[in-house]
Structure 1
Amino acid sequence: PEKDKKYPLVGIVDGGISSILKEWIAEEHEFIHPDDREESHATFIGGLLVSGNTINGSEVCKEMDGCKLLDVAVLPKDEKFRSYYINSPLEFFKELGVAIGELKQKTGVRIFNFSLNTQEHVSSDGYSNPAKYLDAIAQEHDVIFVISAGNTHPNDIREEWPKDPTKALSILASCRNHILKSPAESCRNLSVAAVNAPNVKGTIPFAPANYSCHGPGMRVGIKPDLAHIGGAGAVANSGLLSLSKEGQLIEECGTSYAAPHLAKTLACLDRDIEGYTSRETLMALVLHHSAIPECLQNKKLKKILKNVVGFGIPSSSEEILEGDDSSITLVFANRIRNGQRMRFKFSWPPSLVNNGACSGLVKLTLVSTPPFNYKYGAEFVRVNIQGSLRQEEIDEEGKTSYEGRLKPIYEPEKGPKQQKEKNLIDKAFKWASTKVFGADLTEKGNSSNWTLDVEYLTRDGEVMPAEGVPFTALLTIEDSNRKGLVFQEMRNNLTAIGVRIADIQTAARVTPRV
Structure 2
Amino acid sequence: MNNVLELKGKRFVQESKKGNGGGAAINSKVVVTNNHVKKLQSKLQSLREFWMNEDKPFSGILISVHYNKIVAKTNRISGLFKGDQSNYAIVGAKFNTEKTKHIITYFLEDVDIEDSIKLLENVSKVLTIYFTDGISKEVFEQKILFDRIDFKKYFLSKTLFRQIVADVSYIDDFEVEMARKHDKESIITLFDIGVDVKSVFNKIGIDILSSRILDNRTVYLDENQMNLLYEKAPYLVAMATENLSDLSPDDFIEEYESDITSIPNPGIEPTIGVIDTLFDKRVYFSKWVEYHDMVDDNIPKGQNDYRHGTAVSSIIVDGPKMNPWLDDGCGRFKVRHFGVAAGAQFSSFTIIKLIKIIIESNKDIKVWNISLGSNQEINDNFISAEAAVLDQIQHENDVIFVVAGTNKSREDVNKIGSPADSINSMVVNAVTKSGLSTKYSRKGLALSFFAKPDVSYYGGSEEQYIQVCEPLGATFVAGTSFAAPWIARKLAYLIDVLGLNREIAKALIIDAARGWNDAPTPEEVALYGHGIVPIKITDIIQTPEDEIRFLVTDVSEKWNTYNYHFPIPLKADTYPYYARATMCYFPLCDRAQGVDYTNTELNLHFGRIQDDGKLNEINDDKQNLDDIGESRSYILEGDARERFRKWDNVKYIAEKVKDRRVPKKSYRNKNWGMEIKTNNRLDPEDGVGLRFGVVVTIKEMYGINRIDEFIKNCNLNGWLVNAIDIQNRIEIHEKINEEIRFD
Short-chain TM bin: 0.7 to 0.9
Structure 2 counterparts to residues 116-195 of structure 1, below 5 A: 116-154=372-410, 156=411, 176-195=412-431
CA distance in 2 between partners of 1:61 and 1:382 (Å): 39
Correspondence for 1:230 among 440, 449, 459: 459
Q: Equivalent residue of 1:442, what SS?
A: coil
Partner of residue 12, structure 1: 274
Q: Does 1:45 find its partner at 2:312?
A: yes
**Farther off after superposition, 47-56 or 329-338:** 47-56
Deviation at 1:5, TM superposition (A): 4.4
Q: Quick check: 1:383–1:464 contact (8 Å CA) kept in 2?
A: no
Match of 1:373? Answer: 590
For 2:526, give the aligned amino acid: N
Partner of 1:95: 354
Tell me, in whole angstroms, the C-alpha distance in 2 between the residues paired with 1:67 and 1:401.
Answer: 47
Are positions 1:254 and 2:479 aligned together? yes
Structure 1 pair 136–402 and aligned structure 2 pair: CA distance change class (3 A): closer
Name the counterpart of 1:77.
343
2:301 to 11, 36, 43: 36
Tell me what 1:172 maps to.
none
Cα displacement (A) at 1:70: 1.3
Contact 1:220/1:431 (CA < 8 Å) preserved in 2? Answer: no
TM-score relative to the length of structure 2? 0.55
- Deviation, 1:320, is 2.2
**Distance (whole Å) between structure 2 residues aligned to residue 419 and residue 400 of structure 1:** 22
Change over 3 Å in CA distance of 1:267–1:407 after alignment to 2? farther
The answer to whether residue 569 in structure 2 is matched with residue 349 in structure 1 is yes
Alpha-carbon offset, residue 68 of structure 1: 0.9
Q: Secondary structure at the match of 1:345?
A: strand
Counterpart CA distance in 2 for 1:423 and 1:340 is: 22
| Residues 328 and 306 of structure 1, relative CA distance in 2, 3 Å threshold | same
Shift of 1:228: 0.4
Find 2:619's aligned residue among 403, 406, 418.
406
One-letter code of the match for 2:469? L
| CA apart distance, 1:335 | 0.7
**Cα deviation, residue 472, structure 1:** 0.9
Q: 1:218 aligns with which of 447, 452, 466?
A: 447
TM-aligned CA deviation for residue 494 of structure 1: 0.9
Rounded Cα–Cα distance in structure 2 between residues aligned with 1:262 and 1:481: 33
What is the total number of aligned residue pairs between the two structures?
Answer: 442
CA contact (8 A) 2:564 2:671 kept: no
Q: Which residue number in structure 2 is paired with residue 471 of structure 1? A: 692
CA RMSD of aligned residues (A): 2.8
Match of 1:443 among 653, 663, 681: 663
Following TM superposition, by how much is the alpha carbon of 1:479 offset from its aligned partner in structure 2, in angstroms?
Answer: 2.2
3-state SS of paired residue (1:182)? coil
| Secondary structure at 2:652 match in 1 | strand
Q: Secondary structure of the residue that 2:341 maps to in structure 1?
A: coil
Matched, 1:241 2:467: yes
List per-residue Cα deviations over 1:388-422 (Å, max 9, x = no partner): 1121345xxxx6653112369xxxxxxxx999322
Identical-residue share of aligned pairs (%): 20
Do the aligned partners of 2:395 and 2:587 also contact (CA within 8 Å) in 1? no
Q: Higher Cα Rg: structure 1 or 2?
A: 2
Determine the structure 1 residue equivalent to 2:73: none
- Residue by residue, what CA displacement relative to the aligned partner does 1:434-472 show, whole Å, maximum 9, x if unpaired? 11111137312333432111111223x531337422111
Q: Aligned to 1:384, what secondary structure does the other structure show? A: strand
Structure 2 equivalent of residue 412 of structure 1:
none
Where does structure 1 differ by over 6 angstroms across 4 or more consecutive aligned residues? none
Asked whether the equivalents of residues 138 and 188 of structure 1 are also in contact (C-alpha less than 8 Å), the reply is: yes
Q: Secondary structure at the match of 1:422?
A: helix
Mapped to 2, the partners of 1:407 and 1:312 lie a distance apart of 23
CA contact (8 A) 1:61 1:261 kept: no
Evaluate the alpha carbon distance shift between residue 400 and residue 141 of structure 1 in structure 2; reply closer, same or farther with a 3 A threshold.
Answer: closer
Tell me what 2:39 maps to. Answer: none
State the distance in 1 between where 2:555 and 2:613 align. Answer: 29
**Structure 1 residue matching 2:693: 3-state secondary structure:** strand
Distance, in Å, in 1 between the alignment partners of 2:415 and 2:445 is 7
Q: Please tell me whether the aligned partners of residues 63 and 265 of structure 1 are also in contact (alpha carbons under 8 angstroms).
A: no
- Alpha-carbon shift at residue 483 of structure 1 (Å): 2.8
- Separation of aligned partners in 1, 2:696 and 2:444: 27
Go from structure 1 to structure 2 and tell me whether the alpha carbon gap of 1:327 and 1:29 turns closer, same or farther (over 3 Å shift). same
Q: Distance in 2 between matches of 1:336 and 1:11?
A: 29
CA distance in 1 between counterparts of 2:336 and 2:651 reads 31
Structure 1 counterpart SS, 2:722: coil
Quote how far apart the aligned CAs of 1:265 are. 0.6
* Distance (whole Å) between structure 2 residues aligned to residue 265 and residue 347 of structure 1: 30
Instruction: Classify 1:442/1:44 alpha carbon distance in 2 versus 1 (closer, same or farther; 3 Å).
Output: farther
Residues of 2 paired with 1:253 and 1:498: CA distance? Answer: 50
1:57-107 deviation line (CA, Å, top 9, x unaligned):
23x34244422111111112246x4xxx6xxx3122111221222233xxx
Q: TM-score, structure 1 length as denominator?
A: 0.78
Change over 3 Å in CA distance of 1:422–1:39 after alignment to 2: same
Contact 1:117 1:181 in 2 (8 A): yes
Residue 27 of structure 1 deviates from its aligned partner by 2.1
1:324-343 equivalent positions in 2, closer than 5 A: 325-343=545-563
Q: Secondary structure at the match of 1:312?
A: coil
* Cα separation, 2, equivalents of 1:181 and 1:371: 22
